[in-house]
Structures are given as structure tokens and as C-alpha cells.
Structure 1
Amino acid sequence: MAPPLSSWPWASLGIYKYFLLGPLVWKVAQEWAEQGGAPLGSPWLHLLALFSARGLTYQFWFSYSNMLFLTRRRRVVPDGVDFRQVDHEWDWDNFLVLQTLIGAALVNGPLPLLPGLKDLRVWDPRGLGIALLLHVGFSEPVFYWAHRALHGAPLFGRYHAGHHSTPVTQPLTAGFGTPLEALLLTLTMGVPLAGAFLMGAGSLGLVYVHLLTFDYLRSMGYSNVEVISHRVFEAVPPLRYLIYTPTYLSLHHREKDSNFCLFMPLFDLLGGTLNSKSWELQKEIYKGKNDGVPEFVFLVHVVDIMSSMHVPFVLRSISSVPFENHLILLPFWPVALVYGMLMWCCSKTFLVSFYYLRGRLHQTWSVPRHGFQYFIPAAKAGINRQIELAILRADRMGVKVLSLAALNKNEALNGGGTLFVDKHPDLRVRVVHGNTLTAAVILNEIPSNTKEVFLTGATSKLGRAIALYLCRKKIRVIMLTMSSERFLKIQREAPAEFQQYLVQVTKYQAAQNCKTWLVGKWLSPREQRWAPPGTHFHQFVVPPIIGFRRDCTYGKLAAMRLPKDVQGLGSCEYSMERGVVHACHAGGVVHFLEGWEHHEVGALDVDRIDVVWKAALKHGLTPV
């Protein structure tokens, strides 16, 4: 049997736990209807407003700390947050639900402990001074000794071990814990407020200021990013005992026997638990001690406004699962639009996420351009300029391989990366489009007994390579293309004895008896109707086609699962499953792991398809 207060009573409700706040919403709705407008004096409304504002405080700090293009040089622990930690901390906001319910109970019952709670003045400066004194005199020492007690046996194993099971602290980690820990936190937060009210100095403003400041400092400490310069502490030495830092708290999470304070290291000094490394390490980290140079970079781009919210620094719960158009994202659409426009104006690549493979740093950079811009002729030069700047930056940093994603290697845009390699022949970084492995993945999905395939996008880089590979296997390739010149050029590349297996067609009707379609060009519902029942659509088109036919099956974009020893990966790559990346991404990884010195740009070398495939399997990448 689990110890009391070690698990949440609504743990089985999942997302439906928010319905526990339904009575508050109902009360606000009733008062709104009665007053004919927003009930600004309603305590229920303020409880809901505080719940939202406090949650956003943790969320905004989470977003900032994970904007790696701003914070990577000042990260305390350089490791990434993996899926295990994301799932472990999924219900981090349970304490907010609990404290809101406690607030509702205090409002609903006129307890003598908090007189006047239903009729608060807007502001009383005396209350802030009283709350501050009570925080220093009561909350800090009580939290310190209670925290030390939680680290003793058997309390640690029963109540506190879960909070310490995550090696990389995040603002959301601050809220994760057991009900006992949440009640302890509620006590340390609530006593200063209660004292101010009992002394007749309580106010609505004090409630907001005290709670949001408390949450702000908690989020800052758990942010894993240094935000206060070491020069400030050197200029005012006593300040280091009045405010903690993310480094200070991180040492507690890693070593567990020091730095127990709430916000003020003074109490660790008095209690003899101050870690002597706290300030020197903080100085080193602020100066960039953990700023690592990646050896592999995958240069991605945004598909549309909705998918731009799938990046790891927006909503961790959303980015840790394959992308879908969730209704919860709709209210944030205007924010994403403005942010996207800001990125366009800045016109700089930025670091989105990272992971470690074989102990080496792999990073994902992003070009701040949406998918539709790649098809605007006027935007071509600007997009290429941003890709070029990213390549040159990677070259200066010492990156070994940079792989181009999807539209960043579009043939019409830059010839599959050829433009940059030709313009900068002395590049040390290897530029890779990864399409060789993409072709290998698609080809290895085709059943071995297949005798005929229908190929759209037949004269593209991938289409050409697939056609030439299959014809050598004596598989008839029906190539849809209007250009006889381009078809003949590809046909002449095939050995003479296999050229007969390449057939040009100009209409979809020609494939009405072929059940294996290789799709490299977007298909409308009208075009898909020519496929016979039972057809499987293999895809290498961006964006992927929509499955309109219920009597057919649709493959996903070519992808591979990363090796099992990958570390720090906590977000999904677009619509891919956890741990799965697009084949072009995987192709760059293989290029790096093999140490190949050539650029992989422009036309595909058909003879290397099997070589790259075997290398991928050798390094532990597996087909999905």
C-alpha cells in the first residue's frame, strides 16, 4: 500500500483533471450573467486568473530556457531532456490544481483565518512588507528544515525521490512532486499572505504579486540557464546569500546533500549545508563553460504556422508526440504568426534542439521560413542566402557534417545543395542532402516480388535514382513525365540491357492496373482515383499526400529510427514517432558516423544506394 500523500487522487483522470475546476468556471458564468458583464470583483474569477497566470509563468520560463539560440552558452547542465523525463513530469501542474482548490475552499467558507477575503482592497503597501518579513522569518527556515527532512530516510524514498529522478532541471520540474511536497510548498507560500491579512494589510494586489513572484523565482532556479551575471555577485558579495541561482539549485539536484534553501542561500550557510563550489561554478557556466560545438547539424525549416508550434521550446507535451493539428494550439496561432514574422525579419538560423549520439553533439538548426515561401520565386535568393550563412557559420564553428532538410535542398532552389559547394569550394564542413538514404529506404519498402511500379516525380533527383535502381532489378518502371527529353536522358543513363524497363507515360490512366505507386509529386483526389483497389502509395513528396482512398494504403515519408544509444532526445521530428527521423536526417547522421569526406549534393549516385543502406544498418539505424 502506498504511503499517504504520496500519490495524487486524480492521477487516473489524465487531462480530465481540469474538470475539477469546473465549479469555479460555473460560478464565474453565473456572476457574469447576473451582472451583465465581467465580474471583476469575483474571487472565483481571480482564482482562475491566478491559475492561468501562474501556469503561464512556468511556461514562459520553460520557453525561454529552451530557446537554445539564446541560452545554449549559459546552460548549467548541457544534456537534453529525454522522453522519459517528459513523461515522468507530464502532470507537473498538479500542485496548481491543488492550490486553486484550496483557495476555493477558503473563499467558499468564511474561515476566521483569512477575514475579508471576499472583499479585498486593490493594494496596501504595508502588506508587501509584512509578507516579505514573514517569508524570511518563517517560510525560508521552515522550507529549509522540511526539505532537509525529506532527504532523510525513509521520507526521501517515499516522497522526494521522484522529484530528484530527473537529471536536467526545467521550470516544469519545479512543480513536479507528491501531494505532501505540494502541501509543504502551499504552507511556505500561504503563511506570509495569511499573516498580512490577519494584520489587516491584505490586498488583491498582494495576492498576485506574492504568488507570481514566488513562481517566478522557482521557475528561474529550475530553468537550467544562468540569468544573473557573476559580475553582479562580485560587485555586491552579500547578494549571493540573498538569492539563489540555477547553478546553485542544480548542484542540489545532482549532489542532494547540500543547497537545501528555498530562495536564500543564507540558510544553507547558517545550517552548514552550503556547497562551496556554487559561486565559482556559476561564474564558469555564465562565461560559457558548457558551450559545445556540434559535430553534426540538421538544417530544417517550418512547414506552416501550426507546425511552427511543434518546436521544443513552445509546448513540451505537444512537441514530445508526433505533430497533429490540436485544437489547443488554435488560440496560440496569432502568437505563432507574429513570432514567425519576427524571425523572418531577423533572417537568422537558430538552434532548435539537440541530442547526443555516441557521446557526440548533434544539433538541429532552423531556417525561419515557412513552406509556402519556398515556392515564391522572389523569395529564392533570400532563402538561399540564409542557408548559405548557416553553412558558413557551421564551417567556422568546426561542424563536420551539415544535412539539408526537405525544401532546403530543393532542386529548383539550389540544385540539391550544389550551389553552395560550387560557390565555396574550400568548405571543411561536408554538405549532405541525405537523399541517397531516402532512396534506399523507399526501395527497401518495395516487396521483393514486385514486377511493376508507377513513379510520379519521375525526373526529380529521387525519382531518377529510384528508376535507374529498379530497372537494374528488371522491374518495369512506368515513369509519369511530360518531358520526353528528360525521360530519354534518364533512360540513356541505364545500361543498354535494362533500358527497356523504363517506360514513359503522360497520364495517370496508364497506371490503373499497377498497385505499387511511388509518389514524388503531390496527388489530388482525382488523380488518386486511377489507382486500382489495394494500391499502396509509397511517398517521397513534401508535404505528404492526403489519404482519400479507403481501399488503398498510404505509406509515410521515408524515415529511420535512431540507434538505441541516442541521449537527450525529447521531441518528435514533425509527424514522426519518437526516436524516428526523416531519412535525409538519418542520411546525414550516417555520413558523419562513417567519416566520409565527400559532399553529397546534386544528382544521386545510384551505385552508392546499397552502400549507404548497409552503413545505416551497421550503425544501428533501423527501418520503421
Structure 2
Amino acid sequence: MASTPGILTDWPWKPFGNFKYVVVAPFVIHSWYAMLVKDESERDITNFLILPFLLWRMLHNQIWISVSRYRTAKGNARIVDKGIEFDQVDRERNWDDQILFNGLLHYMANYIFPGASRFPLWRTDGVIMTILLHMGPVEFLYYWLHRALHHHFLYSRYHSHHHSSIVTEPITSVTHPFAEHILYFLLFAIALLIPVFTKTTSMLAVFGYVTYIDFMNNMGHCNFEIVPTWLFRIFPPLKYLIYTPSFHSLHHTQFRTNYSLFMPFYDYIYGTTDKTSDQLHYSTRKRQEEMPDVVHLTHLTTPKSIYHLRFGFAYLASKPYTPKWYLCLMWPVTAWSMILTWAYGRTFIVERNNFDKLKLQTWAIPKYKFQYISQSQKMTINKMIEEAILDADRKGIKVLSLGLMNQGEELNIYGGLYVNRHPKLKVKVVDGSSLAVGIVLNNIPKGTTQVLLRGKLTKVTYALAYTLCQQGIKVATMHKDDYGRLQSSSNNFETNLIIAKSYTQMTWLVGDELTEEEQLKAPKGTLFIPYSQFQPKKYRKDCSYHWTPAMLIPKSIENVHS
């Protein structure tokens, strides 16, 4: 929101929420009905293709979001080092509003203007006219409109909303108040409508021009440099015809320079080019991949979890994981992603963070939770984890932590397998078990005298049992096998480790393999505290369940938006 919002700030369909797509439904139904039912003489392929084109625009933008977030996490050619926060994700969530708006205007133009329907596929004269109209009046008028929007009156009411994002993402390019989008469409309509009125337009001219606008907008705000420096050395005039991401990023950091749309030509004419544009372009292109101090190695969970990654759907990544029904409709993409991860077979960077002076990265193994259960996948997964550890060691990374199922006892003995194979490793491989033990102990209510251990025994279980016994708390287990394994792990349990004869304990420490039958035997009011990575299923409404152990994120951590 702008600092002092003006009129027409909000989109007209804002009250509709996620049902805003119904605004184009009547036009879509009419166009498809005409195409599928009416006679051939009454069909309009141009009107019919508007919906597929709108879907293509959404896909195009999403590809840019995903690629940009991956590249900025990797670090090479990144322009601005600062991270983004949740408020920016929320502010830029409605990026598809401008696609709906443009779709409505395309449909209306198709019905209103005689020459705006039944376009031919291609007309050379119309394409040339569109290019010239963009290079001339569109770029020129945009430059002066943009400068006007930086006047304090309009800036505070409208354009400051866009500039709230210092670190830009591709979709920052269309994060504007509704009033601004009206002005932008009037500008771009110059290159769209004049060929319509002169009856020289074509489908490729219209759809190609809008795609070009989307491409350049996304490229200019992607926060990594994509344009090679040699391009301008080979053909110097190109420097005035095509802007670069680093060129436009200076507009978001300096505010009073580099106003041009896509062609810096007018900035050079009117003396508003930032003097550091060339230098920033050159230094950014030379920037190498960032080397973190700490890496957290995790993995995919469910097939649909790809949409909740930070380079998936940003608004889903910014919220706790909850299943969404509409993701079922995307099963072809989900299936293709599973094939892709199977073929790729290497870890990939998910996100980066800064914690005080430490640089952190999260890497992911391209394997899903159900694959970790399969014995046939065990060797492949171990090889991937081992390669990730060796890669971290070569890069000089100090610590690599194994997350979720990458630290399983049956899989790799909590990471010990790799340490034993490579005794000269410089990178420290940790599994986070000490931290998990500390958090579980902190969740046990004060005054507790006895707890029940249930579920699969793990490294965390042994540490919990040992610590609690040392503190004088009775640790009970229902099975002799579990008692024997715990007793044999240490001689210091004394008399505090016991075999329970009944389910009377009010505090249960639970892990994987806790059954519904066991939960039903717990006394009313029992507190279940999990020590595994995954939350137990809730079968009791008269008992309390802690969430899987977690910690609050310190304010000093940067780039937390997922």
C-alpha cells in the first residue's frame, strides 16, 4: 500500500478474494460456446484464444519467479544482497490481477472494435508498425509518465507502493495500484489499437507484444544479471535499446535515475542515467556462486510439496503447509516434476539466509518421503547425501546438518556412515539431535515425576531417557525389548528406568510408530510430546498434543519469507 493511498488504489474485485476469477467467466463461457457450438462463419478464433493466452501469461510469470528465486539463492550474478520478507510476499501476492484486467479489456475490445476480432495469424506490416509504435510514442510517453509518478504528490499516493520493494522479484514489476495499471494499459494500447484501426494487426503481433512486455518486465526485476557484457561490446548501440536487470535495479535503490521502460535511450537523452550502471552490470556478471558457512540438507516430502517450496508458489511457501484441493488439478505438472527429480538426481539449493555474520543455505535431496521407506532407494539416497557432503567439504563449508529423514538410523546411522567413510572430512556433519533433546526437555511440564516413552527408539530417545533419569524423573516403557535396549546403552540409568505395568503416566514422549490403540489407552488429559520429525496423528480430543519440536526464528535472520 502507498504511504498515503489515493483513489482507485484497490482492484475493483478485491472483495471477491480468491473468487475474483469469476469476473472473466461470462466472457470465457461465451467465447468457448461460440467456438464449439455455432457455425463456422460465426466462430472467432481470436476471442477463443484469449483464455489460453491468459493462462500462458500466468505460467510465464511463474517460470520467472521460480528461476529468479533459485538463482538469487545460488548467488551467482545476484545484484542486491538483501533478502525479502513476508510483507513483500503478501504485497505482491495479487500479481495476477493485472492479467485479469488485461483479459477483460481484450474481451471488451474484441466485442467493441470491428477490427479487433478474427485476426490473421501474421501480417508483416502490422508487426513492424507495432515495433515502431513501441519504440517511439510508448517508450517516450512512459519515460515522462514515470518521472511524473516520482513527483511527491503522485509518488506518495501511488508509485511508492511499487518502490516498497527495494529488493525486486520478477513479479514486483506489476505490483502497482489499480490506477497505475489503467495508465499503463492506455500507453501499451497505442501499439495494440492503432494496428487494429488500420486493419494491419495479427494474432502474433498482439500476443507476441504482450509476451514481450511480460518478458522484459520480469527480466528487469529478477535481481540477477542475465544480459552478458560481451553483447554490448559486439554491438554497442544495443546498450541504448535494451535495459538490463542491474540497470533497472539502480532505479529501485537510487530512485531518481534510470526511469526508462525497456529502452535506456531516453535516460541517456535527458541525463537521468545512473553513472554506475555500466560498472554494476560488469561487476554483477562476474559475481561467482555464493559459498555459505552452514548448509542444512533436507528433502522433499509429498509430491505436492514442490508447490510449497520458496521457488514454487510464493503465497503457499509463505504459509504453514496445508493441503490445497486445487493442487490435485495440477497432477500432470506434479507427475512431470517427479520424473524430473528422478532424472536430475542431485541436490539443489532451496533458499539462503543470513544469521548475523553467518551465511546459510538449505539444500534438498530430490527424493520424496515415501522413497525413504523403500529399501530399493536406500543406496541411491545414501549416495546423494554422501555426494552433497563431499561437495560441501570441497567448497569449504563449515557445518552441514542432516534434516528430516536424511539422518535415519537405518539409512546412515545418523550420518555416522559418511564420517566413518571419510575420516578426513573438514566439514562438520551434525544431525540436530542435541537441539531436539533440549527442546523436548523444555516442553515437559515442571513438576513432572514420571514420563512414558512410546514409539520407535532413536538416538534422541536414548539421550532423553538418560537425561531424565539423571534428573531424577522416572522413565517408563511398556516393552521389555525397549527397556533392554535402553538399559544396555548406558550403565547410568540407576533405578529411574522402569517397565510400566499400566498406562497411568500423564506425560508421554512419543515417536514414530505410535499406534491408535496405544493412544486410546492413555488417561484423560495426557500430554503427548513428539521427539520425532513428524507430528503424531491425533486420535484423542480429551488429550493435549505438542507440535513437532521447533524454535522461534531470531530477528537477526534475514531473507525469511517461506
- TM-score per shorter chain, which class? over 0.9
Aligned partner of 1:8 among 7, 11, 15: 11
CA offset digits 1:515-568 (Å, max 9, x no partner): 322111233333322222222221123443221222222221110011112111
8 Å CA contact 1:301–1:368 kept in 2: the answer is yes
Q: Quick one: distance in 2 between partners of 1:425 and 1:549?
A: 47
8 Å CA contact 2:72–2:78 kept in 1: the answer is no
Q: Which amino acid aligns with 1:285?
A: T
Between 257-266 and 354-363, the greater mean CA deviation after superposition: 354-363
Aligned partner of 1:533 among 509, 524, 528: 524
Aligned partner of 2:397 among 386, 396, 399: 399
Q: Quick one: distance in 2 between partners of 1:44 and 1:522?
A: 57
Residue 291 (structure 2) pairs with residue 300 (structure 1): no
Residue 21 (structure 2) pairs with residue 18 (structure 1): yes
Match of 1:516 in 2: 507
Match of 2:329 in 1: 331
Q: Quick one: distance in 2 between partners of 1:427 and 1:223?
A: 37
Between 428-437 and 275-284, the greater mean CA deviation after superposition: 275-284
Call closer, same or farther: CA 1:378–1:558 in 2, change over 3 Å. same
Aligned partner of 1:96 among 84, 95, 99: 99
8 Å CA contact 1:300–1:408 kept in 2: the answer is yes
Match of 1:285 in 2: 284
Aligned partner of 1:51 among 50, 54, 61: 54
Residue 526 (structure 2) pairs with residue 555 (structure 1): no
8 Å CA contact 2:89–2:318 kept in 1: the answer is yes
Q: Which amino acid aligns with 1:81?
A: I
1:148-297 counterparts in 2 under 5 A? 148-288=147-287, 291-297=289-295
Call closer, same or farther: CA 1:403–1:208 in 2, change over 3 Å. same
Match of 1:348 in 2: 346
SS of the equivalent of 1:300 reads strand
The list of structure 1 runs, each at least 4 consecutive aligned residues, that deviate by more than 6 angstroms after superposition, is: none
Call closer, same or farther: CA 1:296–1:511 in 2, change over 3 Å. farther
Q: 1:312: how far off?
A: 0.7
Call closer, same or farther: CA 1:43–1:481 in 2, change over 3 Å. farther
Unaligned runs of 5+ in 1: 572-624
Match of 2:137 in 1: 138
Q: Which amino acid aligns with 2:284?
A: I
SS of the equivalent of 1:149 reads helix
Q: Quick one: distance in 2 between partners of 1:487 and 1:151?
A: 69
CA offset digits 1:92-120 (Å, max 9, x no partner): 22222222222233234x2xxx4322332
Q: Which amino acid aligns with 1:97?
A: L
Unaligned runs of 5+ in 2: none
Q: Which amino acid aligns with 1:388?
A: E
8 Å CA contact 2:35–2:45 kept in 1: the answer is no
Q: 1:305: how far off?
A: 0.5
Q: Quick one: distance in 2 between partners of 1:69 and 1:351?
A: 10
Call closer, same or farther: CA 1:101–1:222 in 2, change over 3 Å. same
Q: Which amino acid aligns with 1:502?
A: L
Q: Quick one: distance in 2 between partners of 1:116 and 1:389?
A: 61
SS of the equivalent of 1:309 reads helix
8 Å CA contact 2:299–2:368 kept in 1: the answer is yes
Q: 1:227: how far off?
A: 1.7
Match of 2:471 in 1: 473
Call closer, same or farther: CA 1:387–1:2 in 2, change over 3 Å. closer
CA offset digits 1:566-589 (Å, max 9, x no partner): 111111xxxxxxxxxxxxxxxxxx
Q: Which amino acid aligns with 1:8?
A: W
Match of 2:459 in 1: 461
Q: When the two structures are superposed, what TM-score results if normalisation uses the length of structure 1? A: 0.84
Aligned partner of 2:310 among 306, 312, 334: 312
Q: 1:203: how far off?
A: 2.0
Q: Which amino acid aligns with 2:495?
A: Q
8 Å CA contact 2:221–2:245 kept in 1: the answer is yes
Q: Quick one: distance in 1 between partners of 2:296 and 2:555?
A: 19
Residue 423 (structure 2) pairs with residue 417 (structure 1): no
Match of 1:607 in 2: none
8 Å CA contact 2:456–2:513 kept in 1: the answer is no
8 Å CA contact 1:135–1:188 kept in 2: the answer is no
Q: Which amino acid aligns with 2:266?
A: F
Q: Quick one: distance in 1 between partners of 2:19 and 2:384?
A: 44
Q: 1:28: how far off?
A: 4.0
8 Å CA contact 1:143–1:188 kept in 2: the answer is yes
Call closer, same or farther: CA 1:7–1:70 in 2, change over 3 Å. closer
Q: 1:354: how far off?
A: 1.1
Q: 1:207: how far off?
A: 1.7
Q: Which amino acid aligns with 2:503?
A: Q
8 Å CA contact 1:454–1:514 kept in 2: the answer is yes
Percent identity of equivalent pairs: 33
Call closer, same or farther: CA 1:177–1:421 in 2, change over 3 Å. same
8 Å CA contact 2:534–2:548 kept in 1: the answer is no
8 Å CA contact 1:374–1:380 kept in 2: the answer is yes
The root-mean-square deviation of aligned C-alpha atoms, in Å, is 2.3
Q: Which amino acid aligns with 1:82?
A: E
SS of the equivalent of 1:259 reads coil
Between 343-352 and 309-318, the greater mean CA deviation after superposition: 343-352
Q: Which amino acid aligns with 1:448?
A: K
1:62-101 counterparts in 2 under 5 A? 62-68=65-71, 72-101=75-104
Q: Which amino acid aligns with 2:248?
A: L
8 Å CA contact 2:5–2:158 kept in 1: the answer is no
Between 19-28 and 353-362, the greater mean CA deviation after superposition: 19-28
Q: Which amino acid aligns with 1:338?
A: W
Question: Number of residues paired by the alignment?
Answer: 557
Q: Quick one: distance in 2 between partners of 1:40 and 1:441?
A: 66
Q: 1:223: how far off?
A: 1.3
SS of the equivalent of 1:364 reads strand
Call closer, same or farther: CA 1:389–1:303 in 2, change over 3 Å. same
Q: 1:78: how far off?
A: 2.7
Q: Quick one: distance in 1 between partners of 2:294 and 2:95?
A: 33
Q: 1:272: how far off?
A: 1.1
Q: When the two structures are superposed, what TM-score results if normalisation uses the length of structure 2? A: 0.93
